[in-house]
Amino acid sequence: MTTAPIEGGVRRNRVAAFFGRHPVGMILAAPYAVYIAVVFAYPLGFSLWISFQDYFFAAPGAIVDHPFVGFDNYTAVLSDPAVRQAFGNILVFLVINVPLTTALALLLAVALNRVVHARTFLRVAFYVPYVTASVAVVGVWLFLFNSDGLVNTVLGPLAPDPSWLVNEGLAMPVIAVFVTWKQLGFFILLYLAALQNVPKELYESASVDGAGAWSKFWSVTVPAVRPATALVVILSLITGANLFTEPYLLTGGGGPSGASTSPVLLMYQRGIQQGEPDFAAALGVLLVIGVLIVAFVNWRFIERRD
Amino acid sequence: MARWPTVVRYAVLFAGALLFLFPFYYMLIGSLQSEPDTSVGGAFPTSGLTLGNYADINSRVDLLGSLVNSGIFTGGVLLCTVVFGVLAGYALARLQFRGRGTLFVIVLLVQVIPFQLLLVPLYVLIVRGYGLADSYLGMILPFAINTTAVFVFRQFFLQLPDDLFAAARLDGAGELRILRSVALPLVRPALLTAVLLTFIGPWNEFLWPFLITKDADMQPLAVSLANYISNVASRAANPFGAILAGACVLAAPAVALFIAFQRHFTSTDLGSGVKG
């Protein structure tokens, strides 16, 4: 702590009391604050406003009124069978994706953490899907999981019929596995960071107690990386809730018969393609409320166990 | 510990790594085959490789133009994030001013709210309101300052010793000067990591540029390739060959940058951001 300079001290103190000790910070942070207000806060409010109006796209310059319709859009969203199907699809996605991501990321991070040889090669291999554009890797998955693709060629008579991406029961699981593969590198990175902070003594005292590798993993590693697990679960939930590119391209717009439609794909189709932004805005609000509730429950659950 | 768990660990890791890399290998092979060959042997061709698919995709999608669009979009985001993000991160970490606490809470909140909630209002505002459809500005605006990067910059500046800043201020240096000649040089390696992570976002982004660019001349490569996949692929002689050739062109810059800088892409650099 430095003391305020003596000269002009009183005035300086009064300024400091209001603006803080470094008012220049307000100027440095201003562009970001303005950006958040324009691109984040205002659209957020606007989204809520649209969701309570009968809102439609009008010709440029035309002045139309958007009557307040209360919860009509929300009722329309909740009673729409396509919305229920999309939320069901996301549930299937999350049930496969979240546990698979968490378990594989932690196991691979623990294994990678103790690797001495070929570190660079192994790291690059696991991270590279994460840095590559979804659109690019979707291209090759389409090729692999096509009805006469390599996967079915290898499976031969075991190949599912109808094939993976056009099979109502398999389209969403394939997307869930795709996203797990695509994002895993990032989550491995998070776990590797967390593993650096696990005190070595914990492992040593577990060894003294005669614990094997597996029991050390359960009794030392898993509890020690719990905050990272909370982060991994929340981030993979958010990724899942935001699913768009994969159902749009991999299953040709959420097919077959809507079995892989995601809420965000539905927002695009209804809000922008079919010109019902009010419906899409209400759907977006409900989606985010859902994500926040699940994230909060997850956070409380992990907090309580601490 | 016994020797065999180590062997098992390496075996599992290498098997996993090959499984992770195989789609990339197959992407490259598929892009070089004149006829799609989905037999097992087709994955290991010995002859008949051609660059014809690259010429094919280039005649349907303006590859160079799309790459330039991707570059401008990504470059704009990086520039804004590095300039304004570093300023905000520095202010949040090192300066006491009114509203700092509120701003930091906002930084945390913005990271939790998914972009998709803003999809409809941003589309209405940017495309219908400001008329920024088919423009670079419209593409860049929603991503201009990456909030995660602001958070990571703050963590980097927070870790520097207090004495450094106190000494520089005693010498009468202004905050901008302290930032430029004291703080920035010390966090340069970490900064590079943050820039690499920021690069991935706009380069790979599909949904937003897809929504606002209808003019093919303005589309980044991810968008023009996706449109090719969903619309015109059925008309090409070897649609998969052309798609995979486009996919290689889209993937190559990000993968090459990542491999070149992979030693900066480490858990310790990122960890300082994650630990909070």
Q: Which domains does chain B have, with CATH numbers?
A: 53-274 (1.10.3720.10)
Question: B27, B67, B116, B243: best mutation site toward chain A, by most A Cβ within 10 Å?
Answer: B116
Inspect the interface and report whether the beta carbons of A288 and B255 lie closer than 8 Å: no
What is the CA angle A136-A142-A146, rounded to 5? 165
Q: What is the CATH number of domain A82-304?
A: 1.10.3720.10
Partner residue opposite B13 with nearest CB, options A112, A181, A193:
A112
Determine, for residues B121 and A43 on separate chains, whether the beta-carbon distance falls below 8 Å: yes
Region of residue A132 (phi > 0: left; psi between -120 and 50: alpha; otherwise: beta): beta
Instruction: Compare all CA atoms of chain A with the CA of B2 and give the residue at the minimum distance.
Output: A213
Complex prediction ipTM: 0.86
Distance CA B123, CA B224 (A): 19
Distance CA B218, CA A23 (A): 42
**Sign of the dihedral through C-alpha A196, A108, B254, B77:** negative
Q: How far is A137 from chain B (nearest CA, A)?
A: 7
Nearest to A194 by CA among B232, B268, B146: B268
Interface A:B, Cβ pairs < 8 A: 314
Q: What is the pLDDT of residues A133-156, one digit of tens each?
A: 999 999 999 889 888 888 888 888
- With CA atoms as reference, the chain A residue closest to B21 would be A125
Among A24, A245, A284, beta carbon nearest to B175: A24
Per DSSP, the three-state class of B49 is: strand
With residue A286 as reference, give the H or E element that holds it. helix A277-304
Q: How far is B156 from chain A (nearest CA, A)?
A: 15
Alpha-carbon distance of B184 to A202, in angstroms, equals 37
Residues A136, B14: C-beta atoms closer than 8 Å: no
Of A26, A122, A129, the CB nearest to B97: A26
Nearest to A126 among B20, B95, B176 (CB): B20
Query: Each residue of B73-112: b (16+ CB within 10 Å) or e?
Result: bbebbbebbbebbbbbbbbbbbbebeebeebbebbeebee
Q: Is B43 in Cβ contact with A277 (below 8 Å)?
A: no
Nearest CB neighbour to B207, from listed A117, A245, A277: A245
- Residues belonging to chain A: 306
Task: State the nearest Cα–Cα gap between A299 and chain B, in angstroms.
Answer: 13
What stretches of B49-192 adopt beta strand conformation (E)?
Answer: none
| Closest A-chain CA to B224 | A135
* CB-CB neighbours of A256 under 10 Å: 16
Backbone angles phi, psi at A169, to 5 degrees: -80, -20
Quote the CA–CA distance of A292 and B257 in Å, as a whole number.
Answer: 35
Residue extents of the structural domains in chain A: 82-304
Minimum-distance CB partner of B97 among A23, A134, A284: A23
Side chain identity, residue B145:
I
Each residue's pLDDT tens digit, A253-302: 887 888 899 999 999 999 988 989 999 999 999 998 888 888 888 877 77
Neighbours of B64 (CB within 10 A): 11
Angle at B73 between CA B68 and CA B78, to 5 degrees: 120
The closest of A216, A220, A219 to A194, measured between CA atoms, is A220
Report the gap between the CA of A28 and the closest CA in chain B (Å). 5
Pick A133's closest partner by Cβ from B10, B150, B254: B254
- Mutation for testing the B interface, residue in A101, A140, A285 having most B CBs under 10 Å: A140
Give the distance from residue A134's alpha carbon to the nearest chain B alpha carbon, in angstroms: 7
A140–B244 C-beta distance less than 8 A = yes
On chain B, the residues whose CB falls within 8 A of the CB of A117 are 10
Point out the residues of chain A with pLDDT beneath 50. 1-6
Contacts of B128 in chain A (CB under 8 A): 57, 60
Point out which residues pair with B49 in neighbouring strands: B33
B120/A277 touch (CB, cutoff 8 Å), yes or no = yes
Residue A240 near residue A97, CB atoms below 8 Å: yes
Contact A54, A66 (CB under 8 A): yes
* B35 backbone φψ class: left, alpha, beta (φ>0; ψ -120 to 50): beta
Question: Given an 8 Å threshold on Cβ–Cβ distance, is A241 in contact with B30?
Answer: no
**Tokens matching residue B148:** 């995660």
- Which residues in chain B show pLDDT less than 50? 1-2, 271-276
Tell me what pLDDT residue B271 has. 47
**CB A236, CB A97: distance < 8 Å:** yes
Residues in chain A closer than 8 A to B222 (CB atoms): 133-136
How far apart are alpha carbons A250 and B230 in whole angstroms?
9
Q: Which residues of B touch A276 (CB under 8 A)?
A: none
Q: Per the CB < 8 Å rule, is B274 touching A193?
A: yes
Say what the pLDDT of residue A80 is.
94
Amino acid in position A186: F
Which chain B residues are within 8 Å of A111, Cβ to Cβ? 9, 12-13
Shortest distance, CA B39 to any CA of chain A (angstroms): 6
* Three-state SS at A53: strand
Q: Hey, are the CB atoms on B17 and A149 less than 8 Å from each other?
A: no
Residue B46 has a pLDDT of 76
User: Which residues of A are less than 8 Å from B141 in CB distance?
Assistant: 39
Q: Distance between CA A235 and CA A109 in Å, rounded?
A: 17
- Which of A3, A19, A32 to mutate: most B Cβ within 10 Å? A32
